[in-house]
Amino acid sequence: MTQWAERVATAARAALAPVEGELRLPGLREPAEVIRDRWGVPHIYAGSEADLFRAQGFIVASDRQLQLDVMCRIGNGRLAELFSELTLPLDRFIRTMGWNRVAARLTERRGQAELDALIPFVEGQLAWAETAPAPAPEYVVLEAEPFVPASVEEALVWGAGAQVVMAFTLSRNWDIELLRAAIAERLDAEAVQELFPDLPFEPGVVQGNRRAASPLDLLRAASPELTSNGGQGSNNWVVAGSRTASGKPLLANDPHLLVQLPSIWYEVHLVCPTMNVSGVALPFAPGVVIGHNERIAWGFTNTEGDVQDLYLERLNDDGTAALYDGAWEPVTVHREELSVRGRSAPEVLEVRETRHGPILDSYLVGIADTEVVTGGLHDSYAYRWVGAEHGISLEAVLGIDRARTFDEFRLALAGWSCPGQNMVYADVDGNIGYQLTGLYPRRRRGDGSVPVPGWTSDFEWDGFVPFEELPWSFNPEQGFIVTANNRMVDHAYPHVITRDWMPPHRARRIAERLTATPRHTAETFAAMQMDTVSLTAREVLPHLRALEPAGDRQKEALALLEEWDGDLGADSAAAALYQVWTVRFAEHVLRPRLGEELYRHYFAKRHWAHTFRHQVLPELLTYPTARWFGAEGPEARDRAMRAALEAAIEELTARLGEDPAAWRWGAIHEVRFSGRLAIIPDLADLFTAGAVEMGGDDNTVCQALYEPQSGYGVAVIPSWRQVMDLGDPDASLGAHPPGQSGNPASPHFADLLPLWAEGRGHPLPLSRPGVEEIAATTLTLAP
């Protein structure tokens, strides 16, 4: 270790939070007890909810100081204050989108019940800033100080920015609208329909209690109906006691999010006279978001709901007014001052905003390495987003935490505005249920799939789909419910939730495994969460097996597929060949027709691999049309397949050696947990928690999405896995990678990684005896 690295390591040790003894926490009415278990998870016992949330804020801040600072900086467009010019393009984008303005609006609208929980929580976090023995070690490297809000009021807005970030990353689908429009301009509307095909409804996967027969109001004037997929997803499923060995329900959930260090989730167990809830929280908010209490358990997946629209505006010559229904309306101008570290004066940004929202001058591309693309928008698009007007009420989160019945659960979910989620439910009485949540615009015309005219009132929103008309289910006859970001409504449903559901393969595979086992246990559920079988590969395999190879090398490679069953296991040579071949085939077919920029946006640098690999590819191979292969059809398709195969063999040989049988998918498909400062060679070891070889891909149950242009490194993972046992809540299990603490000197920086990598979890007890059985340290927080 270099002298510099040792200095940073010393700073890390100095910043460790006390976990035993007694600390003073101003504002407490009574002492609170914090029992940390052997994985560093705090079990917090307090005499009231106010004391409980104050203690939660204090403890979370002690483990995640830098993370909280950075998340709030992102949400308020203030990263450049810490990272200088490096993050200035992102700050400009965020200030243009107005996340900081949204955060301020959400704070102004907080009700008293929310403030009663939020104020003690942020006061607890501010108290840690005063108590901390030293700042997080990253500040030593950056030669900076943590940002500490000057007041509770400022802290509330600061934290609301982090909430806006989460809502935005789980909302859809403004950039898909841009992509559709650009592809239609380069090719035509038919090509867009081929690249964004429609998705089937899976009636055997979930049964809603509400049905309707009126047809959807499809967009006609601007475009034909178009559909796509994208985004980070999740799995959840729940089975009734009729399908379990214990006779009580089991519930599983694994939300799929970007690889992060530390995790976006913070495990916590909260106990007071009115609450006993355990699971994962978000570091910037009180309560538990996913988990269980003494009566119920729950989990969720993203609905993929379309809650964002782009309006093409007609501006006057100097851009000061926008045409609307024959009259010119003044454009609002927001003056945004961006402080940049190292500059003496702020950068001034003037953001124009119409009645529909801010006018965009850039967009984002990429997952593993997000890029702000400027200069690519040639029209004036205004951006409207449900999340700019409505956020999730904290009362909804705390209402779920306190709920004891399905009716109370649904009542709490009525306040879950944005982002919408598919919520599954189980309780100790044996009931299971489902509720789709969120606010979805009721558009006068159009379906939200493409940009629409902003100069007419024809495409405005007329309120939102009523909560009572959103799909839900309670104790379905089939005895199980599955959601995996798939289409949750049939084509007779009268409202538009989205046109951008994810493909149904994960949901189908989960249902396949659920029905294959008569009686499930926590072990069978955990095994399902690690499933790496690709239904897409099984669909594509016959085409590859039928391909006439061009020479012995291709013949030897194709032989790997002869007995392969489509399991993308980390040790599989066939999986490596299949994955690299799909990327090379996409490159061969799409790049010449889309051009470099659209190819990157649609496939190489975005997660539209969901669409191409799982929907478009099987169709192209089955029906080789002239548009994509030329007049020769099947012959040209086979040439493209052989060219892609040869390129895949070249790549795999260069990376994994000459012997195809020795290739392994996990050898190039690895998830690495590294902090931001691991890019500094001397600090790489200190700020890296570990790496895990993974199987699977973007649409296997075990999520392992990669971004083709960035290589095969995993970018999206199951960020939290839980299996909740309603027969014995203390036997419920969970794990998130890599560990509870963001401090590399902590024993809990990476200790959860082995559990997570193996698909195992640690206990999530609710009872005091269950907690004491796994207890490691006890800290008293005194008034």
How many angstroms separate the CA atoms of 492 and 215, rounded?
6
- Report whether 84 contacts 342 (CB < 8 A): yes
Helix, strand or coil, per DSSP, at residue 228: coil
Average pLDDT of span 129-135 = 94
Residues contacting 512, CB < 8 A, separation 6+: none
The residue type of 647 is A
How many angstroms separate the CA atoms of 546 and 564, rounded?
14
Q: Which CA distances in Å does 404 have to 292, 400, 408, 410?
A: 10, 8, 6, 11
How many angstroms separate the CA atoms of 448 and 174, rounded?
9
CATH superfamily assigned to domain 530-719? Aminohydrolase, alpha-helical knob region (1.10.1400.10)
**Class of the CATH-defined domain 3-170+722-734+761-782:** mainly alpha
**Is the pLDDT assigned to residue 214 strictly greater than 70?**
no
How many angstroms separate the CA atoms of 684 and 719, rounded?
22
Average pLDDT of span 55-62 = 98
- Report whether 251 contacts 724 (CB < 8 A): yes
N-terminal to C-terminal alpha carbon distance within the chain? 42
Helix, strand or coil, per DSSP, at residue 289: coil
How many angstroms separate the CA atoms of 720 and 267, rounded?
10
The residue type of 435 is Q
What is the residue-averaged pLDDT of the chain? 92
Please tell me whether the peptide bond between 203 and the residue prior to it is cis, using omega within 30 degrees of 0: no
In the block, which residue shows the tokens 């801010």? 358
Q: φ, ψ for residue 124 (rounded to 5)?
A: -65, -40
How many angstroms separate the CA atoms of 618 and 208, rounded?
30
User: Hey, where are the domains in the chain?
Assistant: 3-170+722-734+761-782, 530-719
- For residue 57, the cross-strand partners are none
**Is the pLDDT assigned to residue 333 strictly greater than 90?**
yes
- Report whether 235 contacts 484 (CB < 8 A): yes
How many angstroms separate the CA atoms of 614 and 371, rounded?
25
Q: φ, ψ for residue 598 (rounded to 5)?
A: -70, -35
Residues contacting 283, CB < 8 A, separation 6+: 60, 64, 67, 68, 71, 162, 264, 266
Summarised one tens digit per residue, pLDDT across range 585-644 is 999 999 999 999 999 999 998 766 678 999 999 999 999 998 899 888 899 999 999 999
* Residue 232 binned pLDDT confidence (cut-offs 50, 70, 90): low
* Residue 171 binned pLDDT confidence (cut-offs 50, 70, 90): confident
**Is the pLDDT assigned to residue 226 strictly greater than 70?**
no
How many angstroms separate the CA atoms of 763 and 722, rounded?
10
Helix, strand or coil, per DSSP, at residue 646: helix
Buried b (16+ CB within 10 A) or exposed e, 63-87: bbbbbbbbbbbbbbbbbbbbbeeeb
Q: Which of 264-273, 442-451, 483-492, 617-626 shows the highest mean pLDDT?
A: 264-273
How many angstroms separate the CA atoms of 481 and 298, rounded?
12
In the block, which residue shows the tokens 């036997």? 731
Share of the chain above pLDDT 90, in %: 84
**Is the pLDDT assigned to residue 500 strictly greater than 90?**
no
The residue type of 600 is R
- Region label for 601, one of left (φ > 0), alpha (ψ between -120 and 50) or beta (otherwise): alpha
* Beta-carbon count within 10 A of 703 CB: 27
- Report whether 289 contacts 267 (CB < 8 A): no
Q: What is the CA radius of gyration of the chain?
A: 26
Q: Which CA distances in Å does 80 have to 94, 440, 603?
A: 12, 34, 30
- HSE-up (13 A, CA, CB side) for residue 93: 18
- Report whether 441 contacts 307 (CB < 8 A): yes
| Maximum distance among all Cα pairs of the chain, rounded to whole angstroms | 80
- Report whether 446 contacts 461 (CB < 8 A): no
How many angstroms separate the CA atoms of 466 and 444, rounded?
16
**Low-confidence winner among 340-344, 371-375, 446-450 (lowest mean pLDDT):** 371-375
Summarised one tens digit per residue, pLDDT across range 176-200 is 898 898 999 999 889 989 998 876 6
Specify the DSSP class assigned to residue 244.
Answer: B
What tokens appear for 656 in the block? 């994994």
Summarised one tens digit per residue, pLDDT across range 742-775 is 999 999 999 999 999 999 999 999 999 999 999 9
Closest CA to 402 of 286, 285, 253, 287: 287
